[in-house]
Structure 1
Amino acid sequence: MNYLITGGTGLIGKALTKELAKHASAITVLTRSPKAALNLGLGSNVTFINSLSIENIENQDTVINLAGEPIADKRWSKIQKDKICSSRWNLTEQLVEFIQAANKPPSLFISGSAVGIYGRQNSTEIDETFNNFHEEFTHHVCAKWEAIANQAKSNKTRVALLRTGIVLDKNKGALAKMLLPFKLCLGGKIGNGRQMMSWIHIEDMVAAIVHIQQNNALSGPINITAPNPVSNSSFSADLAKAINRPCLLTTPAPLLNLLLGEMAGLIVYGQNVVPNKLVQNGYNFNYPTLELALDNLLNTK
């Protein structure tokens, strides 16, 4: 099995590449820094490139597109919004053009998206059939990203869109950023704490992608979240309990709005997203509850 992966050195991509490298014939990873990527130890059958050509697409069994400017690393200025959009849309357009032009296109194109496509929602349960989107920046980014990726669909190429939730990993991403204040006894809920958090353990994230690759019935938008989303208040309490710290403080929403501007909406609002497609197509979660996930990530030596 041959793979092309974009974003293969990021949080999800690195873990996925390591897993696929155990069985793949060859993996090609697109990265801005091929020399630096050589030191990541992703596998002897992994090759790094810093630009794409149609030759990189020909004879690939699966193309996995995970690249994109991090959405929560910087305040959303106009320049930063343009980077977030262009880093996703432009590369996906290039991949689609090459897939369409290839003599032997991949049988599967897996492309990133996020639960942000739903926009801010209340506690209503959201599966892949939900279409009452809230029009805001995250929806705009993901909706166009998905629309571009869908153009690769043909009788030769299946397209799967990963509507990913908050990926939990001890060393990177959202959980890693939360740990320090909680360890310093400064953690707590945000705003009223009722906003829903749709999360997934990094191991389930990787395993779900492998499951999609192996299951031809899975295509179109797929929610990549654990089956038990929780409120921000519950998440905060469970995290504090997992590291034996109190959960006493509250971060007021107006303060976040002042500090982060429009980007504060990622934290102040949420979505109650469930992975119906994955469950209905036989995926069994290793970490279906937050308690199990945090115990594994934070208390396993």
Structure 2
Amino acid sequence: MHILLTGGTGLIGRQLCRHWLSQGHRLTVLSRTPEKVAKICGAQVRGVALFEDLGQEPVDAIINLAGAPIADRPWTSRRKALLWASRITLTETLLAWLETRAQKPQVLISGSAIGWYGDSGERELTEASPPSIDDFASQLCIAWEETAQRAEAMGIRVILIRTGLVLSAEGGFLSRLLLPFKLGLGGPLGSGRQWMPWIHINDQIALIDFLLHRIDASGPYNACAPKPVRNREFAKTLGAVLHRPAFMPMPALALKVCLGELSLLLLGGQKAVPARLLEAGFTFQFTDLRAALDDLSSRL
């Protein structure tokens, strides 16, 4: 199978490349620095700077994960524009390219996030739950999904991956928590009551591969473990795994002052469950947070 990835040099994309190379698939990664793709993703992975560089070469599946990191810095007007362009504008460019192709791919798996639902309090969220459009992260995900779904009009099956907080030793949000926790300064954010939908990187890769090979899979899937935890429980468990205390809370006011609108992403939460994945028969390797963190601990 020939698979084209956007965002292939990111945390999830790199792991997908390793996984699919081991299965013998042919991989192409769209990148602003295509000359670096082979080093980052694997010697057999081809890098291209533009979709047009592929010509009319057949592509069986597209994995659309490109997007600037959403929590790296405050959401200034300029940062919001970059977040939007790196997701929605790039997906629109992808659609325009697909329109020109005589042979269309069978499936488009496009990224999204649990943030699609917005801050949802205590409500349990399945894929049938409605979104809250009160915050920028939710609006961003809604627009990203709606743009990707336009590929269905070309006869392409579209799968939307609403990813939770990915636990990995190679980067992501967990790496940003390590320093304060190792210094004994870790703890809950705000009240600590907000729900955190998490997923181990191994399960993230496995579920994308699972959906790629299911010809009946389409629409949104919550990519998170079946047992979300509250922020205070996450902090306590991470502290225990690192053998450090985790009782230094970060006051909500301080987060709002330092991060502005971005603080809503950290102080809000989603009690999301992977209802559709479980119904489809996907089996999670990690359903317990402590077991997931223990698995990563030697590499943290």
TM-score by length of 1: 0.96
Read off the aligned partner of 1:285 and give its amino acid letter.
F
Read off the aligned partner of 1:138 and give its amino acid letter.
A
After TM superposition, give the deviation of residue 35 of structure 1 in Å.
2.0
Contact 1:227–1:275 (Cα < 8 Å) also in 2? yes
Q: Which runs of 5+ in 1 are unaligned?
A: none
Residues 1:207 and 1:33: Cα distance change in structure 2 (over 3 Å): same
Q: Which runs of 4+ in 1 moved over 6 A?
A: none
TM-score by length of 2: 0.96
Read off the aligned partner of 1:174 and give its amino acid letter.
F
After TM superposition, give the deviation of residue 155 of structure 1 in Å.
7.2
Residues 1:259 and 1:277: Cα distance change in structure 2 (over 3 Å): same
Deviates more, 1:152-161 or 1:70-79: 152-161
Question: What is the aligned partner in structure 2 of residue 2 from structure 1?
Answer: 2
Question: What is the aligned partner in structure 2 of residue 163 from structure 1?
Answer: 162
Q: Distance in 1 between matches of 2:277 and 2:252?
A: 34
Please tell me whether residue 87 in structure 1 is matched to residue 77 in structure 2. no
After TM superposition, give the deviation of residue 256 of structure 1 in Å.
0.3
Q: Distance in 2 between matches of 1:33 and 1:132?
A: 35
Question: What is the aligned partner in structure 2 of residue 23 from structure 1?
Answer: 23
Deviates more, 1:89-98 or 1:205-214: 89-98
Contact 1:117–1:140 (Cα < 8 Å) also in 2? yes
Question: What is the aligned partner in structure 1 of residue 128 from structure 2?
Answer: 129
Contact 2:11–2:170 (Cα < 8 Å) also in 1? no
Give the SS at the match of 2:63.
strand
Pairwise CA RMSD: 1.6
Please tell me whether residue 35 in structure 1 is matched to residue 38 in structure 2. no
After TM superposition, give the deviation of residue 300 of structure 1 in Å.
6.6
Q: Distance in 2 between matches of 1:211 and 1:39?
A: 26
Q: CA-to-partner distance for each residue in 1:182-227, whole Å, 9 max, x for gaps?
A: 1111001111100000111111111110001011222111111111
The count of aligned residue pairs is: 300
Q: Distance in 2 between matches of 1:38 and 1:138?
A: 32
Question: What is the aligned partner in structure 1 of residue 195 from structure 2?
Answer: 196
Q: Distance in 1 between matches of 2:174 and 2:55?
A: 34
Residues 1:120 and 1:21: Cα distance change in structure 2 (over 3 Å): same
Give the SS at the match of 1:53.
helix
Deviates more, 1:54-63 or 1:5-14: 54-63
After TM superposition, give the deviation of residue 132 of structure 1 in Å.
4.5
Alignment of 1:67-82 (within 5 A): 67-82=66-81
Instruction: Provide the identity percentage.
Output: 39
Question: What is the aligned partner in structure 1 of residue 146 from structure 2?
Answer: 147
Contact 2:188–2:250 (Cα < 8 Å) also in 1? yes
Residues 1:33 and 1:182: Cα distance change in structure 2 (over 3 Å): same
Q: CA-to-partner distance for each residue in 1:258-286, whole Å, 9 max, x for gaps?
A: 00000011111111111111111011001
After TM superposition, give the deviation of residue 135 of structure 1 in Å.
2.2
Question: What is the aligned partner in structure 2 of residue 12 from structure 1?
Answer: 12
Question: What is the aligned partner in structure 2 of residue 265 from structure 1?
Answer: 264
Q: Distance in 2 between matches of 1:56 and 1:237?
A: 52
Q: Distance in 1 between matches of 2:103 and 2:183?
A: 55
After TM superposition, give the deviation of residue 17 of structure 1 in Å.
1.0
Alignment of 1:92-131 (within 5 A): 92-131=91-130
Deviates more, 1:229-238 or 1:54-63: 54-63
